[in-house]
Chain A
């Protein structure tokens, strides 16, 4: 099913006779859902872009690339730099903004500016009964009623199908640099990344690749500010080793796009896990999980792990502060971290209210 408008979509959902598998551009097949495919790709187009108010409103099926292009013309950007999953998941097609929001997709800059959900200002969606609902709006500060905008962000279409999203955008950056430390072990790397994040120098990316033995930090801003902070951080991190600075815009962008998209695991066999953890716990958890390879982002708070296929690594991890999601893997391993009983009850209660017949992405997020 390919509805062309919100009204179309509402009618299709109201008339649905069985489960629906909700997709945008189909580039992020996370989880395993049986049902009739329903894509929002044709509900597309930028509705409003106000550079002076740092606001963009777009229909759910709008390609992310279209939005980024329109923003770039005014020197603005989606600051949470959503990951492009195509290389990692071997998919083709166009990632849509609705898909980004439904999966709360953020990149390395999440550590400094926030996640996709932190940039969300408003949503329109159709619930499981076919009712059109709006929440939030297009202004940056809004506490009018409950924040269903955040609830819908990262709900993977289980509470409703997004038709329009409004977002805060940020000015583009004039200059950028990557600072690299070589040869640190995981614990030293997390300590170095914490030291960088606990400085006043506003790093906007903090990642570590144990295979390459490289710990990288990103600085962005006006050229002289980047140069000043690169020097200050080099001194600040002296005890961790010699820092090399790359300030070539093209190569800085390439470095961080690769980290964002986890391209290191793209052509390698095995399952891919994504863990959100307390940064200082990360090296210990990595030691326990028995991965073939890992990548650290968010100063250690985000761990990407490549593992043998079909293994649920949660068994090896035990209780930990955080959660693990299987981004690429088999249907017999739960995609999402099982919730403690009281939270699972709330989740089930919310789904029963927003999707009384259980037709929206059943099996997702459970």
Chain B
């Protein structure tokens, strides 16, 4: 993956830049020694690494503003970082950049149950947002798989989703307000404790802008009361076509489950070997979860079971209690870990119209043979957000490149059938050079024009999202 050559002028002024940053930050908040900066050389896309010029860990919005003001004045690129769990390389540094990590900023600023929001510093992890309100019966809905580690800052940057977004939406649907520092150090407040911030929908624009428009330091998030209960049902089928039809029929029947998860045979085999969840060996497995009181759940599951049964399942199993529910989810939740036990893998997240599911799965199977690399599929079927896991051997020369080539072909296929390159992980560097597959030049130009407004010097995370050739004139200016 090509990255722009570091700016020699910046590299040569490292000592001066570090000195300026130290003047506005506590001593332990600036790291410039290679032994310290190495910790920031990559995110969860570990195939690519590059230690930054230095890393800073501010504790407040004011400190973030002071840092950005200096970097803006000295033309130093900045890469914002949450917890570094991006699978797309969203927080990958360049050698001439300052990594701005928000990890120290993890405080709850305000909780308000009457008006149903929580205001936090964005270094707080996703799960600990729910942790702060769950004793009062509330939760924060977006639940990315990495929720134990990932920060709200990164969730906002990537507009993260999760397994339950069919009902509750993704980050952008649960974000009410932000405090954001612009690249020139200006602090702006957008939205707040009210719905639908006034003026242009800048909140919607910032959410998912991959840290390219500003550094979000505080966020007001919508919290919801927990449902009375939730229960999953597991179903197995002989073909993915039939499973796809079951998903469509459930949705058309007027039931809106909170989650519909899909796993194919390679994934089932790997997770069974690893987690022993007791899954049936079949071509396609679905986990469908509904919420409500016991009676409401019974009623909805009854409808779902009838639809499921009419399609000749090889297995149909309803959780009767919390223990059985846990067992049904166990395999799905350990799927990535299970695959990771047997192989290196690359996880994609292209999204497709649900109706194209059988065709796309068939094509991925054929391509798997052509490339000679195995693929497991596990994904959010209700919203068409796929997660093909391509297995490769990082120690085998050329295997990573082959895997990337295969991945690119899968994503092109997603776009061809009317879908998109990424449903929840973001573009980062991983899908940057495929953007021309989904967008025409004028579409990308319109997006880059937005960045011109927020960050005219193109210093913030500038080597991401847009193909380097498209962004080059702006970055070089």
**Interface of A with B (CB < 8 Å)?**
50-55, 74-75, 104, 106, 110-111, 114-115, 117-118, 127, 131-135, 137-151, 153-155, 158-159, 170-174, 191, 194, 197-200, 221-222, 224-225, 228, 232, 276-280, 298, 301-302, 321-323, 325, 336-337, 339-340, 342-343, 346-347, 349-350, 353-354, 365
With beta carbons under 8 angstroms apart, the residue of A132, A172, A343 that contacts B199 is A343
Given contacts A150-B203, A151-B202, list 7 more A-B pairs with CB under 8 A: A135-B446, A139-B352, A148-B446, A225-B295, A278-B115, A349-B453, A353-B449
Nearest-neighbour CB distance to chain B for A306, whole angstroms, equals 21
B85 shortest CB reach to chain A, Å: 15
Q: Is the CB of B454 within 8 A of A346?
A: yes
In the complex, what distance in Å separates the CA atom of A337 from the CA atom of B208?
A: 26
- B383 contacts chain A at the CB level, 8 A cutoff: yes
Q: Please name all residues of chain A whose beta carbon is closer than 8 Å to the beta carbon of B137 when the two chains form the complex.
A: 200
Contact A139 B198 (CB under 8 A): no
B residues with a Cβ closer than 8 A to A are: 112-116, 137-138, 158-159, 161, 165-166, 169-170, 172-173, 182, 186-190, 192-205, 207-209, 225-228, 247-249, 251-256, 292-293, 295-296, 299-300, 351-355, 380, 383-385, 418-427, 431, 435, 438-440, 442-444, 446-447, 449-454, 465
Q: How far is the CB of B388 from chain A (nearest CB, A)?
A: 15
A53 B355 Cβ-Cβ under 8 A: yes
Nearest 8 CB-CB pairings of A with B: A150-B204, A323-B198, A52-B248, A141-B423, A349-B453, A171-B254, A322-B194, A278-B193
A228, B296: Cβ atoms under 8 Å? Answer: yes
Tell me which residues across on chain B come within 8 A of A225, comparing CB atoms.
Answer: 292-293, 295-296, 299
Contact across chains for B427 and A172 when beta carbons are under 8 A apart: no
Q: Once bound together, how far apart are the Cα atoms of A178 and B477, in whole Å?
A: 61
Q: A137-B418, A222-B300, A350-B200 are in contact. Are A147 and B205 (CB under 8 A)?
A: yes
Q: How far is the CA of A110 from the CA of B222 in the complex (A)?
A: 13
**Do B296 and A155 touch (CB < 8 A)?**
no
Contacts of B251 in A (CB 8 A): 51-54, 171
A106 surroundings in chain B (CB, below 8 A): 196
* A78–chain B nearest beta-carbon distance, Å: 15
CB neighbours of A353 from chain B (8 A): 449-450, 452-453
Bound-state Cα–Cα, A171 to B257, Å: 11
CB nearest neighbor in B for A134: B443
List of B residues within 8 angstroms of A321 by Cβ: 192-194
**Cross-chain contact of A142 among B112, B249, B423 (Cβ < 8 A):** B423
Q: Assuming the A-B contacts A142-B420, A144-B438, A148-B446, are A117 and B201 also in contact, with contact meaning beta carbons closer than 8 angstroms in the complex?
A: yes
B435 touches A144 (CB 8 A): yes
A71 CB to closest chain B CB (Å) equals 12
Q: How far is the CB of B441 from chain A (nearest CB, A)?
A: 10
Can you give 14 contacting A-B residue pairs, CB < 8 Å? A53-B248, A114-B173, A115-B195, A139-B418, A144-B422, A144-B427, A150-B172, A151-B450, A222-B296, A276-B198, A321-B193, A322-B194, A346-B188, A353-B450
Cβ-defined contact, B449 with A354, below 8 A: yes
For B252, what are the chain A residues with a Cβ–Cβ distance below 8 Å?
51-52, 74, 171
A336 engages B450 (CB within 8 Å): no
Known A114-B173, A194-B115, A350-B453: A143·B422 in contact at CB below 8 Å: yes
The answer to whether A145 and B435 have CB atoms under 8 Å apart is: yes
Contact partners of B454 in chain A: CB under 8 A: 346
